[in-house]
């Protein structure tokens, strides 16, 4: 006995809850087999257990329950050894349903089961867009999802039911509508693959009648998601798509597939604003900000998009409608800078979309350094809690001058600047400069340094007594008494103990004058 059965539509059939579904079953047999009789029926039943999550369907005609007997449609075709059966069901609850099928006259004949996936009528969609907003073109037109990560970008769309307790919407349609597609597949930027099932399947765009859009539709998997991977080919372009199917509006995902600029362009290259002098003097180890300004000046139409690319890495993009007089300031990522002393090692440009194409600007090249030395710029420690900028008397400096470092406040400044905190064996040095006239009535400048090991890095303050009276003896006011001696104090943090190692940072300078003649003895 060699009965076979085929179903139209093929299993599984997707049906929206509240709607009706039709099954046509075609039974075939071989010569020598006993054919079904004219009054034979197929019996559909619900085997147990049902797949999870379980939905509900029921026959749309009497007796409206399973098992349900379905008679032959028309008559048995003995010449073609074929019999057709048809029945209609209504979908009542979202989930999976499996139907078992048997030929009533020959119940021992094994026939395959049939599956329904009942999908919700209403569901919401959500996506964070493509995980890489910009990817470079490739040197091949045959790359697929096994390509290197830099040449592919993935978008995942999640569908959820609108129930009070939402669950994944399984088997629902998610449609991607792409604006301004290439007129022919051979000129399309990138290749697109459906990875919803975990294995890749090529995606073909279906052009609209106007040619202004193209689309494709995928069904969500058991997790309620669809996954699309865009892979670079040799053509650049801008993908801007609308994701539909749910009852809500999803922000339109965008993807730039860019080529490196070559030759001249109608768009001038961008410019940058780097602190601390010219780009050649810009030292990333002393710049604590995560971004730096990129300046774009382009005569763009207000209906497109513009992306900035630094060293083959996406920086920022925005609609050109946000430009003011063709000008815009983007945030460049400090971490993406190439740092060396070898020359033009940073490549910066922008690309503007144009009806699905990308038009590059000219390239701007610049150099940055990474000297690994010098104090942190942008973090200014201190000033001292004591002394403050004022006049110092003999009482203040004999036998020593007490200095108090605001240690906890300095640690807080490091935290705010996203820098490492001071820890053992870090230390600090109190530094002093005094200017005045010596006993020979000659104007003189003297300096001294007083290193200090930090015992408690969690303390609010740290105290260091310095013997400035000894260090600066015999310096005082001018011989005629018209000009006072001056003092200047500050401190520096260091990586090693007792003021050794590289300097970490420097405090605000505290200054004042000296009234006493004791310093002149």
Place of tokens 């690994």: 372
The pLDDT of residue 280: 46
The pLDDT of residue 288: 61
Q: Which of 225-234, 331-340, 399-408, 511-520 has the lowest mean pLDDT?
A: 511-520
Q: How far is CA 431 from the centre of its chain?
A: 46
Q: Determine the Cα–Cα distance for residues 384 and 390; give it in Å rounded to an integer.
A: 12
415 and 334 in a common domain = no
Closest to 432 (Cα-Cα) out of 384, 501, 503: 384
CA-based end-to-end distance of the chain: 125
482 and 463 in a common domain = yes
Q: Which helix (H) or strand (E) holds 47?
A: none
* CB-CB neighbours of 308 under 10 Å: 24
Closest to 511 (Cα-Cα) out of 490, 492, 493: 490
Assess if residue 241 is contained within a domain: yes
Q: Determine the Cα–Cα distance for residues 99 and 18; give it in Å rounded to an integer.
A: 19
Percent of the chain's residues with pLDDT above 90:
34
Kindly report, residue by residue over 467-511, the tens digit of the pLDDT: 877 777 777 777 777 777 888 899 999 989 999 988 888 888 888
Q: Determine the Cα–Cα distance for residues 314 and 256; give it in Å rounded to an integer.
A: 9
Rounded average pLDDT over 120-124 = 88
Cis peptide before 235 (omega within 30 of 0): no
* CB-CB neighbours of 490 under 10 Å: 20
Assess if residue 172 is contained within a domain: yes
Say whether pLDDT at 339 is over 80.
no
The pLDDT of residue 282: 60
User: What are phi and psi for residue 19, nearest 5 degrees?
Assistant: -105, 175
Say whether pLDDT at 464 is over 50.
yes
Judge if pTM exceeds 0.85: no
| β-bridge pairing 4-8 and 68-71 | unpaired
Assess if residue 240 is contained within a domain: yes
Tell me the C-alpha to C-alpha distance, in Å, between residue 436 and each of 443, 469, 487: 6, 13, 9
Percent of the chain's residues with pLDDT above 70:
91
The pLDDT of residue 376: 52
The pLDDT of residue 440: 82
| Burial state string for 454-481 with b = 16 or more CB within 10 A and e = fewer than 16 | beeeeeeebebebebbeebeebbbeeee
Q: Which of 242-251, 256-265, 368-377, 379-388 has the lowest mean pLDDT?
A: 368-377
Q: Determine the Cα–Cα distance for residues 102 and 109; give it in Å rounded to an integer.
A: 7
495 and 406 in a common domain = yes
The structure tokens listed for 72 are: 């032959």
343 and 355 in a common domain = yes
**Residue 430 CB burial class (10 angstroms; 0-12, 13-18, ≥19):** buried
**Residue 375 CB burial class (10 angstroms; 0-12, 13-18, ≥19):** middle
157 and 205 in a common domain = yes
Looking at residue 104, which CATH number applies to its domain?
A: 2.60.40.10
The structure tokens listed for 201 are: 């399947």
Residue spans of beta strands (DSSP E) within 462-509: 462-466, 485-494, 503-506
pLDDT band at residue 521 under the 50/70/90 scheme: very low
User: What are phi and psi for residue 263, nearest 5 degrees?
Assistant: 75, -160
Q: Which of 330, 351, 385 is the last residue of a domain?
A: 385
pLDDT band at residue 519 under the 50/70/90 scheme: very low
212 and 201 in a common domain = yes
The pLDDT of residue 478: 79
Assess if residue 311 is contained within a domain: yes
Q: Please name every residue paired with 85 in a beta bridge, in sequence order, or none if there are none.
A: 25, 72
Q: Which helix (H) or strand (E) holds 24?
A: strand 20-28
* CB-CB neighbours of 183 under 10 Å: 12
Rounded average pLDDT over 142-156 = 94
79 and 20 in a common domain = yes
Q: Which of 339, 360, 385 is the last residue of a domain?
A: 385
- Give the chain's domain count: 4
Q: Please name every residue paired with 219 in a beta bridge, in sequence order, or none if there are none.
A: 173
407 and 336 in a common domain = no
The angle subtended at Cα 136 by Cα 135 and Cα 140, nearest 5°, is: 120
Q: Which of 262, 282, 313 is the last residue of a domain?
A: 262
Rounded average pLDDT over 238-251 = 87
Assess if residue 200 is contained within a domain: yes
Say whether pLDDT at 145 is over 50.
yes
Q: Return the SS3 of 409.
A: helix
Assess if residue 145 is contained within a domain: no
Tell me the pLDDT of the chain averaged across its residues. Answer: 85
Rounded average pLDDT over 380-405 = 84
Say whether pLDDT at 78 is over 60.
yes
* CB-CB neighbours of 271 under 10 Å: 13
Q: Determine the Cα–Cα distance for residues 431 and 449; give it in Å rounded to an integer.
A: 5
> Going by C-beta distance under 8 Å and a sequence separation of 6 or more, which residues neighbour residue 231?
138, 143, 144, 145, 147, 151, 152, 190, 191, 192, 193
Assess if residue 132 is contained within a domain: yes
Kindly report, residue by residue over 289-306, the tens digit of the pLDDT: 788 889 998 888 888 899
173 and 98 in a common domain = no
Q: Determine the Cα–Cα distance for residues 99 and 45; give it in Å rounded to an integer.
A: 6
The pLDDT of residue 159: 93
503 and 427 in a common domain = yes
* CB-CB neighbours of 357 under 10 Å: 16
407 and 372 in a common domain = no
Q: By residue range, what is the domain housing residue 476?
A: 401-513
The pLDDT of residue 378: 53
Q: Determine the Cα–Cα distance for residues 285 and 376; give it in Å rounded to an integer.
A: 7
Assess if residue 396 is contained within a domain: no
131 and 86 in a common domain = no
Q: Which of 337-351, 372-386, 397-411 has the lowest mean pLDDT?
A: 372-386
Tell me the C-alpha to C-alpha distance, in Å, between residue 176 and each of 135, 138, 245, 306: 20, 24, 9, 22
Contact (CB, 8 A) for 118 and 51: no
């Amino acid at each position: 006995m060699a009965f076979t059965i085929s179903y139209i539509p093929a299993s599984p059939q997707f049906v929206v809850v509240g709607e009706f579904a039709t099954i046509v079953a075609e039974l075939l047999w071989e010569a020598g087999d006993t054919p079904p009789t004219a009054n034979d029926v197929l019996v559909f039943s619900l085997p147990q257990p049902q797949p999870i999550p379980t939905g509900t369907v029921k026959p749309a005609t009497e007796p409206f329950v399973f098992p349900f007997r379905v008679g032959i449609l028309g008559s048995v075709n003995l010449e073609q050894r074929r019999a057709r059966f048809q029945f209609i069901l209504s979908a009542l609850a979202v989930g999976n349903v499996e139907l078992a099928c048997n030929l009533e006259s020959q119940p021992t004949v094994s026939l395959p089961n049939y599956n329904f996936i009942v999908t919700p009528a209403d569901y919401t969609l959500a996506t964070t867009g493509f995980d890489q907003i910009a990817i470079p073109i490739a040197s091949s037109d045959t790359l697929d999802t096994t390509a290197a990560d830099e040449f592919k970008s993935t978008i995942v769309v999640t569908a959820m039911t609108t129930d009070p307790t939402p669950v994944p919407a399984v088997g629902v349609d998610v449609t991607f509508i792409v604006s301004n597609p290439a007129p022919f597949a051979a000129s399309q930027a990138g290749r697109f693959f459906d990875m919803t099932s975990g294995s890749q399947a090529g995606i073909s765009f279906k052009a609209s009648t106007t040619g202004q859009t193209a689309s494709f539709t995928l069904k969500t998997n058991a997790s309620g998601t669809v996954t699309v991977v865009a892979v670079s080919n040799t053509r650049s372009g801008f993908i801007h798509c609308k994701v539909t199917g749910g009852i809500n509006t999803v922000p339109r995902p965008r993807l730039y597939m860019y080529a490196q600029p070559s030759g001249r362009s109608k768009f001038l290259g961008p410019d940058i604003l780097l602190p601390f002098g010219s780009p050649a003097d810009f030292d990333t180890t002393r710049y604590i900000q995560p971004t730096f300004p990129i300046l774009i000046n382009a005569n763009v139409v207000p209906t497109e998009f513009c992306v900035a690319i630094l060293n083959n890495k996406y920086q920022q993009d925005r609609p050109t409608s946000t430009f003011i007089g063709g000008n815009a300031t983007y945030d460049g990522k400090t971490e993406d800078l190439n740092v060396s002393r070898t020359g033009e090692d940073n490549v910066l440009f922008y690309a503007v979309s144009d009806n699905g194409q990308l038009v590059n600007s000219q390239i701007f090249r610049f150099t940055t350094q990474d000297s690994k030395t010098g104090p942190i710029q942008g973090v200014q420690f201190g000033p001292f809690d004591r002394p403050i900028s004022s006049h110092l008397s003999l009482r203040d400096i004999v036998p020593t001058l007490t200095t108090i470092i605001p240690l906890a406040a300095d640690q807080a400044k490091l935290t705010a600047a996203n820098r490492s905190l001071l820890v053992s064996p870090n230390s600090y040095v109190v530094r002093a400069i005094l200017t005045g006239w010596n006993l020979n009535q000659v104007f003189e400048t003297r300096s001294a340094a007083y290193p200090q090991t930090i015992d408690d890095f969690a303390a609010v303050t740290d105290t260091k007594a310095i013997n400035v009276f000894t260090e600066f003896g015999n310096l005082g006011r001018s011989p005629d008494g018209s000009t006072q001696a001056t003092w200047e104090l500050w401190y520096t943090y260091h990586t090693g103990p007792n003021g050794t190692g590289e300097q970490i940072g420097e405090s605000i300078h505290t200054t004042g004058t000296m009234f006493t003649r004791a310093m002149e003895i």
